Amino acid sequence: MVVDGLRLSLSLVGSSPAPGEPITMELAARNEGSDELVINFANGQRYDFEVFKDDGASVWHWSDDMMFTMALGQEVIAAGEALQWRETYAEGLPAGSYRVVGTLAAMDRPTVELPLEIKG
């Protein structure tokens, strides 16, 4: 997804996980424009990850039970540069179909998603 020169991408790190194996995901925000980008945030949170079952039920939400500073903030991304965030869902998932969603926790909260198939 590209908005105003900012490309947001989501990927899984490593090979396709087997049932019960940890799942590591990475969210990247790349400035594809020729000028620096300033991204504004309403608090200290910069990103989020969530995994959903095929039926839409949430299985794991990275920021659940977390607290973030309640201060406005911003990140500056130079032209051609990127910010990356990586988190691991250590418990893993049973075999099945899922959807992974990565969110840039900026004021407009853009998201990207990808399918995840855990084969048993």
Task: Tell me what the pLDDT averaged over the chain comes to.
Answer: 93
Distance CA(61)–CA(68), nearest Å, equals 15
- pLDDT one-digit tens code per residue, 10-23: 999 987 899 999 99
pTM: 0.91
**Percent above pLDDT 90 for the chain:** 88
What are 43-61's pLDDT values in tens digits? 999 999 999 999 999 999 9
For the chain, which domains are there? 2-118 (2.60.40.2360)
The pLDDT value recorded for residue 78 is 97
What pLDDT sits at residue 14?
87
